[in-house]
Structure 1
Amino acid sequence: MTATHSRRRFDVATRTLSFESEGTQCRGRLYLPDRPATPPVVVCAPDIAAEQTFGYPAYAERFAQAGYAAFVFDYRGFGESDDADPAGWFGGETHHLVDPAAQVADLQAAIDRVARLDGERRRVALWGYGLGGGHAIRVAANRRVDTVVAVAPFVDGRAFARARSPRYLARATCAGVRDRLADAVGRSNTVPVVGGRDEFGLLPRPTGDAYLDCVPRTSDWRNRTPARSLLALLRYRPLADAADVSSPTLLLAADADDIAPPDAVTAAADRIDRSTYVRLPVGHVDPLGRAFEASVAHQLAFLDDALGD
């Protein structure tokens, strides 16, 4: 697959869409090219604790300029979407909760919302970054989609754990268990998504610092998540579903990725029959920044091959 991409650029319009996922209202932004009339739609799933504004609009705009519709949304509890109702009588904090099962349901609901947009059936591509890439693989293993693009996909919580120090794992487990206990009585124990210099956080530095650079200055996103998010990440393993994916799938790995280790992405590519594997000499967040052009070129070439008439 070539990474060169030359075609005319379409003008782009945007509109806000909402949809319901398991009783919670989620919201996102649809990017539309001025033609064709019913373009394929790329449904975009964000990374760990991220919102739709964290660099993903740049991809959505490029997809729309290339003739594809693109829908970027917020998971429940993030950005413009509503918080989920607490579970049980004394449910704890659900704002900024990283809950893979709930987020997979949100992605499923987003697909349902746009697959027949304006009454017209559209071909659907799943696009996910980081944790969203893992969600895309899990969804594609359980329902038919036309194609999948997974950028620096988080596919194996065990690989994430192996890249962490024993001290990190001990602190993550203790914090997560405390939050589980607090959640049972309607309270919450939160941790930073990105910790300070001597502070524990979900994402390690310097990757975490690059992650924070993606947060728009106008955003009211807060750098906290319920600590049970850590336990969910360590247990999450879309790699186990990879062999059930039948759609053409592009997996774009980052060589210096300490969130989604490239060896785990390689293992996922090996299990997917119709996979295309690209490995870039960058870190986890770089495809949102300095490696954007190289990354988007591979993705557009792949989408043209997979969705071209």
Structure 2
Amino acid sequence: MTAGAVAAGVGGVSGSAVAAGGGQAIEFKSGGLRCRGIKYVPAGLSPTEKRPCIVLAHGFSAVKEMYFTDYAQAFCKAGFVAIVFDYRYLGESEGEPRGQIFPWEQIEDFRNAITFAQMQPEVKADKIGIFGSSYSGGHVICVGALDRRVKAVACQVPLVDGWTNFQSIVPRAAGAGFLKYLESDRIERYKTGKINYLPVVAADNNAVLNTSDSYTWFTETHKKKAPRWENRVTVESIEKFIEYSPAVYLSRLAPTPFLMMVAENDILTPTDVAINAFESVREPKKLVILPGGHFDAYVDGFDGASGAAIEWLTMHL
């Protein structure tokens, strides 16, 4: 079977151009559903020329238009092919219930995106890098440790342990009550099949991401850039969040080169937790401290964060 025939079975590229940066709409199969995204190819490639590729997808509940197309375009301008996509159940991708965020399903989406990338005619199949942020910063840790097709990893403000993160942002008394709520929701799902939802953010911070900067960033970015984003996640997704521990895989990353960028004042994925976790990674590795808080890397700190990622990925791909 030819590579083209295999690619046709995994996914494809639609002929339509995408306004943001002139990319092409793409789709690939994952878990029997279609994940959709955008492929950016550097201008001026000859018909036979191939480039390294960066595969990237966003963090908790976020869709690609929430500054990740900006990152993809920055990678493309630096000479990489870039493929950015929405996970199943989010954004343009297929899947019900909407807002289902299971980390290991998203990791499988990442690995299927890598397979799709390797089949693209412009891509050097042995030069694949991955980039993630926040929740997907944890995903790329896991993918990089498990999938040796990945030759370089870059992440920013990563989640490294769901339980530790839960404890850091939820007061102890409220946390105990919330865990009881998760138990009751599990019983209701079993009995009735009903899917319950929680808001991602809220003005009073009575939401999954209960920090004021989370509310500001998500609501403003939704209005400015990402009308497809939905302010809800399934309750079961929070069970999966608490159970998820990318830190377990940090010691398994080597020899794959690993860049971690941490915000100096991060209260959502706490700075000290990430820095402490970084110590368990073996060389080659690099730690970069970014100014500001969790969301600054997307806006005011975009040039610094994207520049550090580009420098690392260029060095190792």
TM value normalised by structure 1: 0.87
Partner of 2:239: 231
Separation in structure 1 between the aligned mates of residue 131 and residue 83 of structure 2, nearest angstrom: 10
Contact 2:189 2:195 in 1 (8 A): yes
Separation in structure 2 between the aligned mates of residue 125 and residue 64 of structure 1, nearest angstrom: 13
* Cα displacement (A) at 1:159: 2.4
* Cα displacement (A) at 1:70: 1.0
Partner of 2:114: 111
Amino acid in the other structure paired with 2:316 = A
Partner of 2:146: 142
**Which one of 175, 182, 187 corresponds to residue 176 of structure 1?**
182
Give the count of matched residue pairs: 286
4+ runs of 1 displaced by more than 3 Å?
none
Separation in structure 1 between the aligned mates of residue 29 and residue 159 of structure 2, nearest angstrom: 25
Q: CA RMSD for the aligned pairs?
A: 1.8
What is the 5 A alignment of 1:41-190?
41-84=53-96, 94-118=97-121, 121-122=124-125, 123-144=127-148, 145-164=150-169, 165-184=171-190, 185-190=192-197
Partner of 1:206: 212
* Cα displacement (A) at 1:81: 0.5
* Cα displacement (A) at 1:154: 0.7
**Which one of 209, 222, 225 corresponds to residue 215 of structure 1?**
222
Deviations 1:3-46 (A, max 9, x none): xxxxxxxxx64111111111111111111111452111111121
2:276 is the alignment partner of 1:267: yes
In structure 2, the gaps of 5 or more residues are 1-20
Separation in structure 2 between the aligned mates of residue 76 and residue 53 of structure 1, nearest angstrom: 15
When structure 1 is superposed on structure 2, of 154-163 and 20-29 the one drifting more is: 154-163
Separation in structure 1 between the aligned mates of residue 98 and residue 139 of structure 2, nearest angstrom: 19
When structure 1 is superposed on structure 2, of 253-262 and 231-240 the one drifting more is: 253-262
* Cα displacement (A) at 1:195: 2.1
TM value normalised by structure 2: 0.85
Separation in structure 2 between the aligned mates of residue 283 and residue 189 of structure 1, nearest angstrom: 31
Deviations 1:235-294 (A, max 9, x none): 110001111112111100112212221222223322221210011231111100111111
* Cα displacement (A) at 1:121: 4.0
In structure 1, the gaps of 5 or more residues are 1-11, 85-93
Name the CA shift for 1:152/1:35 in 2 (closer, same or farther; >3 Å): farther
Partner of 2:16: none
Deviations 1:148-201 (A, max 9, x none): 00111111113202312124423432343333223222212211000231x621
Partner of 1:6: none
* Secondary structure of the corresponding residue to residue 101 of structure 1: helix
* Cα displacement (A) at 1:119: 8.1
Q: Which structure has more helix as a fraction of its residues?
A: 2
* Secondary structure of the corresponding residue to residue 51 of structure 2: coil
Partner of 2:35: 26
Contact 1:13 1:33 in 2 (8 A): no
* Secondary structure of the corresponding residue to residue 67 of structure 1: coil
Name the CA shift for 1:181/1:289 in 2 (closer, same or farther; >3 Å): same
* Cα displacement (A) at 1:302: 1.2
Name the CA shift for 1:169/1:95 in 2 (closer, same or farther; >3 Å): same
* Secondary structure of the corresponding residue to residue 29 of structure 1: strand
Separation in structure 1 between the aligned mates of residue 295 and residue 174 of structure 2, nearest angstrom: 21
* Cα displacement (A) at 1:98: 1.4
